[in-house]
Amino acid sequence: MPIEREALALVATGGQQGADRAGVARELDFFDLKGALQATVEAMNLPELILETTAARHLREGQAAAVKTTGDEMIGTIGTLTEEIAAGYKFRQPVFVAEIDLSALLEKSETPVLYAPLPRFPSVVRDVSLLLDRKVPVARLLNAVANQKVSDCRAAQLVGVFEGENIPEGKRSVTLRMEYRANDRTLRDAEVDEMHWDIVKALEAKFSAEVR
C-alpha cells in the first residue's frame, strides 16, 4: 500500500496591507513566508528549523532552501516559485511557497518550556548593514553571530534585505540587529561598541562582507 503522509503547504504573494490603511504598505517577500513557517514551529513547541541552500525544480535557482530539523533530516523546501510555473497560473508578481512533511513534525518531541526572571538592566541594540554575496543565507549570518559566543550579546535578528539599485550584481545588503545586555549592570556605550565591532569584523572576515 502507498505511504500517505500529511503535508503542510504555505503560499504568499502580493502586498501587505496595514491596519486602517487603504493602500499596500509593502510587497511580501521570502522572509514573510519564512516567518510564518517559524511561527508554526514555535506554536508546536518544537526546535527551530534549519534552512540550507538547495535546488528544486519548482523553485528559482538561488532562491530555494531545504528545510531541515536539528537532526539534519530534510522535511521540505521553501523558496520562490519559478517564473515558468507562476506564468502558467497567470501570476504577475513573485510567489513564495513552502511544503513541509507535517507528519515528520508531529512525530518530534516538544522542547521543554524554560522560564527565567525578567532582566533587571536595560538592553542596548546596534544595527549593522552588510554587503555580501546574495547566495549567503541569513541563517548562516545569525549562526555566525551566535558562534562568537559573546556572553552579553543576547540576540541577533534580521531587520531587512535590500537588492537592486546601487547594489552590485550578485550582491545584496543584509541588515542585522544585535541586542546586548549584562546581568549585573547597565552596559556603557564603549563596552557595547567594542563587542559589536568584534562581531562585525568576524562576519566581514567569514563572509567577505563589507559594512555599508
Question: Residue 74's Cα: distance from chain center in Å?
Answer: 17
Which residue is it, cell 545586555?
181
Q: Domain 7-106 maps to which CATH number in 3.30.930.10, 1.10.10.10, 3.40.50.300, 3.40.220.10? A: 3.30.930.10
For residue 19, what pLDDT is reported? Answer: 62
Cα–Cα distances in angstroms (integers) from residue 140 to residues 4, 78, 83, 144, in the given order: 34, 16, 27, 6
For residue 16, what pLDDT is reported? Answer: 76
Please answer whether residues 97 and 81 qualify as being in contact, where contact means their C-beta atoms are separated by less than 8 angstroms. Answer: yes
Q: What whole-number distance in Å separates Cα of residue 153 and Cα of residue 202?
A: 14
For 124-211, CATH number? 3.30.70.380
User: Going residue by residue through the chain (212 aa), what tens digit of pLDDT does each one get?
Assistant: 788 889 999 999 988 776 666 566 678 888 889 889 999 998 999 888 888 888 899 998 888 999 998 878 899 999 999 999 998 988 888 999 999 999 998 888 888 888 878 889 999 999 999 999 888 888 888 889 999 989 899 999 888 888 877 888 888 899 999 999 999 999 999 999 999 999 999 999 999 999 98
For residue 198, what pLDDT is reported? Answer: 94
CATH 3.30.930.10 residue ranges of the chain are 7-106
For residue 18, what pLDDT is reported? Answer: 64
For residue 23, what pLDDT is reported? Answer: 60
CATH 3.30.70.380 residue ranges of the chain are 124-211
Which residue is it, cell 522560564?
115
Query: Residue 91 corresponds to which amino acid?
Result: F
Which residue is it, cell 537592486?
164
Nearest to 60 by CA among 36, 35, 72, 77: 77
Cell numbers found for residue 89: 497560473
Nearest to 157 by CA among 185, 128, 123: 128
